[in-house]
């Protein structure tokens, strides 16, 4: 179990993290998300022991994580951290990289571990290729297999799929997170991509203004976002007033957060929009429309004629998506 207690960290006079306090059960996967510069990488480095916090403590299974003030090399036997600057040996083969830190007393076991991890990261055909000959994305996968080789209890990943080709990314995600679940490996991964966290995170921790903005189960965060920021990090979202939705309300500051897939064309609907643009998404089109003077987006199976009028209805859990705000909604 990971325990982060009242963690503060700053560079010079700039506060990066303030009063960060959370825990994570063994085997659970946590998505660390937020806008760029909100301290995601810094938090991972603190958990790994690379940085000295101004305040607070971190424990893994009741054992305190030491920082640079207590030990020369920041390393915990059961914690592995894959940064965005992944560490590989360019003049040795992929297999030699993966087996670098394994004991040479058990060659057959090492070969079995290596073979399994080559499958996880989709590099079976590159086992004997020197790493210097690989692409950036392939090197990232070698680095990932390398940190998994000694089977850490806690794995820290910083943008783990950033260099991976799109056509490989989905398969790699499925294989990696399935492997981590099978081995009961706890994982914290920083990412900006909803495709990373929506399907594979048990919990979601959102950082904003140096603090924890939200920390709940992933499905709960998506279905009941506590703020506009939370919803926007999930992907495209509409922020519409009760007046525009033609809902009765006594509060002029009441707005609703609505995802594009919760809006449908309906001839019986009373809300009318003007079509402005169509964006092809493969399985559907994302339609840009104007509701009065407000821009909005909804999903539809085909493109709609520009400047045409359409009637739409909204099917979303109103009580879970209602916010009271003091200013105009983020667009």
Question: Contact, 158 vs 123, CB < 8 A?
Answer: no
Are 240 and 308 contained in the same domain? Answer: yes
> Do the domain assignments include residue 331?
no
> Over 90: is that where the pLDDT of 85 sits?
no
> Over 50: is that where the pLDDT of 92 sits?
yes
End-of-domain residue from the set 168, 203, 226: 226
Are 261 and 172 contained in the same domain? Answer: no
Are 197 and 249 contained in the same domain? Answer: no
Question: Contact, 301 vs 284, CB < 8 A?
Answer: yes
Q: How far apart are CA 75 and CA 92, in angstroms?
A: 24
Are 291 and 199 contained in the same domain? Answer: no
Helices 136-148 and 107-120 cross at an angle (nearest 10°) of 130
Are 209 and 253 contained in the same domain? Answer: no
Q: What is the mean pLDDT of residues 293-299?
A: 96
Dihedral sign, Cα of residue 198, residue 43, residue 168, residue 152? negative
Are 240 and 217 contained in the same domain? Answer: no
Give the CA count within 13 Å in the CB-facing half-sphere of 323: 23
Strand runs labelled E in 34-150: 55-60, 63-64, 79-82
Q: Name the band, by pLDDT with cuts 50, 70 and 90, for residue 157.
A: very high
Other C-beta atoms closer than 10 Å to the C-beta of 135 total 11
End-of-domain residue from the set 169, 199, 226: 226
> Do the domain assignments include residue 329?
no
CATH code, 301: 2.40.50.140
Task: Tell me what pLDDT residue 102 has.
Answer: 86
End-of-domain residue from the set 226, 247, 268: 226
> Do the domain assignments include residue 330?
no
pTM of structure: 0.89
pLDDT digits (tens, 9 = 90+) for 176-235: 999 999 999 999 999 999 989 999 999 999 999 999 999 999 999 999 999 989 999 999
Are 61 and 187 contained in the same domain? Answer: yes
How much of the chain exceeds pLDDT 90, in percent?
A: 74
List the one residue out of 200, 187, 197, 203 whose CA is nearest residue 79: 187
Task: Tell me what pLDDT residue 73 has.
Answer: 56
Task: Tell me what pLDDT residue 74 has.
Answer: 59
Are 199 and 270 contained in the same domain? Answer: no
Lowest mean pLDDT among 36-45, 240-249, 293-302: 240-249
Q: How far apart are CA 100 and CA 147, in angstroms?
A: 10
Reading the block at residue 89, the tokens are 């040996």
> Do the domain assignments include residue 200?
yes
Reading the block at residue 65, the tokens are 């994580």
> Over 50: is that where the pLDDT of 134 sits?
yes
Task: Tell me what pLDDT residue 72 has.
Answer: 52
> Do the domain assignments include residue 271?
yes
Phi-psi map region of 19: left, alpha, beta (phi>0 left; psi -120 to 50 alpha)? left
> Over 80: is that where the pLDDT of 129 sits?
yes
Strand runs labelled E in the chain: 2-11, 14-24, 29-33, 55-60, 63-64, 79-82, 154-158, 186-190, 203-208, 211-217, 238-241, 254-258, 263-265, 271-280, 285-291, 294-300, 309-314, 322-324
Q: In sequence order, which residues have a C-beta less than 8 Å from that of residue 78 and are 6 or more positions away?
A: 60, 61, 152, 153, 154
Number of domains in the chain: 2
Are 94 and 206 contained in the same domain? Answer: yes
Task: Tell me what pLDDT residue 329 has.
Answer: 46
The mean of the pLDDT values for the chain is: 91
Are 166 and 286 contained in the same domain? Answer: no
Are 219 and 259 contained in the same domain? Answer: no
Q: How far apart are the first and last CA of the chain?
A: 39
Task: Tell me what pLDDT residue 101 has.
Answer: 83
> Do the domain assignments include residue 181?
yes
CATH code, 74: 3.40.50.300
> Over 50: is that where the pLDDT of 331 sits?
no
Are 78 and 153 contained in the same domain? Answer: yes
Select the more confidently predicted residue: 327 or 69. Answer: 69
Task: Tell me what pLDDT residue 84 has.
Answer: 76
Phi-psi map region of 69: left, alpha, beta (phi>0 left; psi -120 to 50 alpha)? alpha
Query: What is the Cα Rg of the chain in Å?
Result: 23
> Do the domain assignments include residue 320?
yes
> Do the domain assignments include residue 231?
no
Q: What domain range includes position 272? A: 236-324
List the one residue out of 194, 139, 201 whose CA is nearest residue 176: 201
């Amino acid at each position: 179990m990971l325990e982060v207690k009242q963690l503060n960290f700053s560079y010079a006079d700039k506060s990066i993290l303030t009063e960060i306090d959370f825990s994570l059960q063994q085997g659970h996967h946590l998505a660390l998300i937020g806008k760029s510069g909100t301290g995601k990488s810094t938090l991972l480095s603190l958990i790994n022991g690379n940085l000295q916090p101004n305040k607070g403590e971190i424990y893994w299974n009741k054992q305190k994580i030491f920082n640079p003030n207590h030990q020369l090399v920041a390393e915990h036997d059961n914690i592995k951290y894959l940064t965005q600057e992944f560490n590989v040996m360019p003049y040795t083969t992929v297999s030699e990289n993966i087996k670098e830190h394994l004991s040479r007393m058990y060659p057959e076991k090492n070969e079995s571990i290596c073979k399994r991890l080559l499958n996880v990261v989709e590099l079976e055909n590159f086992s004997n290729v020197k790493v210097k000959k690989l692409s950036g994305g392939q090197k990232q996968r070698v680095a990932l297999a390398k940190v998994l080789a000694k089977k850490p209890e806690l794995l820290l990943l910083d943008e783990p799929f950033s260099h991976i080709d799109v056509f490989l990314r989905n398969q790699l995600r499925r294989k990696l997170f399935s492997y981590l679940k099978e081995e009961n490996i706890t994982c914290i991964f920083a990412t900006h991509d909803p495709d990373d966290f929506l399907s594979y995170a048990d919990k979601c921790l959102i950082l904003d203004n140096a603090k924890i903005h939200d920390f709940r189960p992933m499905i709960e965060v998506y279905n009941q976002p506590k703020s506009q920021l939370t919803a926007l990090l999930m992907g495209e979202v509409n922020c519409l007033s009760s007046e525009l939705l033609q809902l009765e309300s006594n509060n002029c500051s009441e707005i609703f957060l609505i995802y594009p897939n919760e809006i449908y064309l309906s001839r019986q609907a009373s809300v009318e929009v003007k079509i402005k643009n169509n964006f092809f998404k493969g399985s559907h089109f994302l339609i840009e429309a104007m509701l009065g003077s407000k821009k909005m987006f909804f999903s539809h199976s085909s493109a709609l004629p520009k400047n045409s009028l359409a009637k739409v209805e909204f099917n979303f859990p109103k009580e879970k998506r209602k916010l009271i705000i003091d200013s105009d909604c983020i667009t």
